[in-house]
Structure 1
Amino acid sequence: MNVFCFPKISFNVGTFKSYEYLFGMKYSIQLFLLFLLPFILPAQSSITYLHCGRILDGVGGELTEQTIVVEDGKISRIEAGYVGAAAGAKVVDLKQSTVMPGFIDLHVHVESELNPRAYIERFTKNPADVALRATTYMRKTIAAGFTTVRDLGGSGVNISLRDAINEGYIIGPRIFTAEKAIATTGGHADPSNGRNEELAFDAGPEAGVVNSADEAWKAVRTRYKNGADCIKITATGGVLSVAKDGQGAQFRNEELEAIVTAAKEYGMHTAAHAHGVGGMQRAIKAGITTIEHGTLMDDETADLMIEYGTYLVPTLSAGSYVAEKAKTPGFFPAIIVPKAIEIGSQQKEIFTRNYARGVKIAFGTDSGVSPHGDNAKEFGYLVECGVKPMDAIISATSTAAMILGQKETLGQIKPGFTADIVAVLGNPLEDIHLLEKVDFVMKDGRRVK
């Protein structure tokens, strides 16, 4: 006789007895029922209804009392009012909240976080140590509402971290990474800087160091081979490199043009770390996508950025943080302290002037210099410097998505887009610092906070 009978599947006692004989073990009826559970219980719904008090859509639009329906990781529709949910669907009450696209930070370093031991730890920590620490940094980042980040240079662990997140092994934001940054010999991001004779080595394109157009091509191709999503160069000296000059240009024009051309041929956009005007202007004219920091930008360089359509990623968080920490004895090597004080103290004033002049901006913090998880403090710094709250949010949503080549999938609350969604209590257009207190985070349609 039949024991259970369901559509497309049936079992009888005789069949069950034969399974006992086949596997050589005595199955209980309880174990048999456990096997049947997937057929007995209804499938869990993958639909979520978000009842939103206010929506900022990422492109300047604002809606009130709406329902976002999320299905299979995407926004399937947006309806006026608080729509009743379908049977079995989840409902999230965000009626007192402002709902926005998941934030995008275009300048982070996922592998590290600045501390007084950071320079010696380059020689004492193994890649596994770096990777395990990085998992905690990424959890802090996504908990802060940043569902996507662009990593601009590390040791190569950043590739593995990106893949582990994509495959669901660890929790974290979606990562677009440059793998290792590209520098010149002795320049900012030359990994051999500051070493003694025993540890010194002549870094080449494999390590991200170039001294000719041909080597520039090889460095880009190597980044591509290693799995990079974009290319980052250090167009000038840096504040935190163990070198005296933090401003001077460090690439020749033909090297820059080779890098940008090669990156385009391999489907990658480009970012240039730059503090001084000489390196900035060369990079802009070569066709770089974004200038990172832009700390000492003058009017001529600002006009050049406007002419070429280059975006500035100001990273005000990093400038503020290093200027503060430079006052702490022993936090930085002595050679770094005067650079940190000089550049950090000027950054906000110069940014305010250049933004008012018309330079286009995209959101980035340089987290890893400043602490991971504090990314949203950048919104406050931007508003202090004259950016309207709505424009600051757009810089971290649709603008950032466009730079990443994801303008049709990320950065907007819109049907068909990936369901990366964050919410805060209250209205951040009235108090931008509310964005530092994100209490709801969804990535790919899954609630992670």
Structure 2
Amino acid sequence: MIDTASSDNAAFQLRVRDFYLGRQPILDRDQVLHGYELLFRSAPLGPAAIDTELSATAAVIAHAAQLGIDKVIGDGKGFLNVDAAVLDSDIFVFLPRENLVLEIAASVKATPELAGRIAALASHGFRFALSDVVSETADVQQLLPMTEYVKFSLRDSAPAALAALAPRFKAAGKKLVAEKVETHAEFDACLGLGFDFFQGYYFARPSVIGGRKLSPAQVAVLALMQLVVSDADNIAIERAVKKEVTLALNLLRLVNTPAVGIRHRIDSVSQAVTILGRRQLQRWLQIMLYAEPAMRRQGMPPLLALATTRGRLLELLAQRLRPGQRNVPEIAFTVGIMSLMDALFGMPMEEIVQQIPVSDEVAGALLKRTGFFGELLSLAENIELMDEAEARLAPALHELAMSADELAELEVAAFEWSDTIVRYAI
């Protein structure tokens, strides 16, 4: 029996201060969300930097245990980096083993002790991934039978090496994950090699396609948004909603989510329009723009998850930084949601701000990352990119007079809200 408790857990708790908690989406071949890699970086702001892989992982686990790891990963899988020291420790009591995958770097020495520990943890339901694989070394060959996933970084692996290694690992029954996929061309190339999962922000990079048209449902949502923004009366808005049966049904689903906070059930479009009010109605319509493509396939689309999380995070940041200014959080939410519409529609952001009326302040944030809302948006983007933008996080937080601890708590709250909304949106 494995002892997963430890007297050192209290010491880990004391060191959990000032760190960034990021998550990067992992998608399947249909570009549906499979899970997230949880990323930890210690902040240079606190008195005690966390400088080992063991304490870093302990920090993630302890913080997730306090706030609820289910809020961070939702229904997906969570991928967590571990090394030999972590694997040999007794910090696994906090881990939901059915939803977590432990990532071991391919550079880790495959000693008999390590192999035995992995086998013991696997017998208790833990699953493993081998990451940063660039060649089939003796250590990789030893660890391979005990791992379910094999991860290749496109930045560290030459195309020829990928083409040679992928079929061999695939033939061994492993699930292949391509990391740092930044373009649709890279995604397509890895699809052809048989990769099962993809990690990177290629899905959020706008792919401008000439002559691309919005779906009829998206056109209807945009038309309805125009009615809301132009202060049309409720009867006109209700009539427009009822013309689109799917839109009406999903609006009712959304208005009855716990996140809205209405205690009695809303059963009519007229009630929904009246109770929500114009600001909330505009918010749900913005979400529906992302949700509509998901209705054509099963599973959570990454853009919907990313946009709702980003919008909510900006809203929570604005509430914390500008208390008492009622309109500011709503504007921040709109900036967050709209910031991914270029990827959603496949058109330049300049065209989007012309078609959807926004203030100069919102346009400046979306186009140039200027002003208060531009600073919030830049912060959110840097958190998401983490590896590439870590150095910019501390100055951005300093500029906003916010601690990394406060940011981590708001992030988790945004993850939870997004997961709740997405469950009802698709």
Q: How high is the TM-score relative to the length of structure 1?
A: 0.29
Rg (Cα) greater in structure? 1
Q: How high is the TM-score relative to the length of structure 2?
A: 0.31
User: Whose helix fraction is larger, Structure 1's or Structure 2's?
Assistant: 2
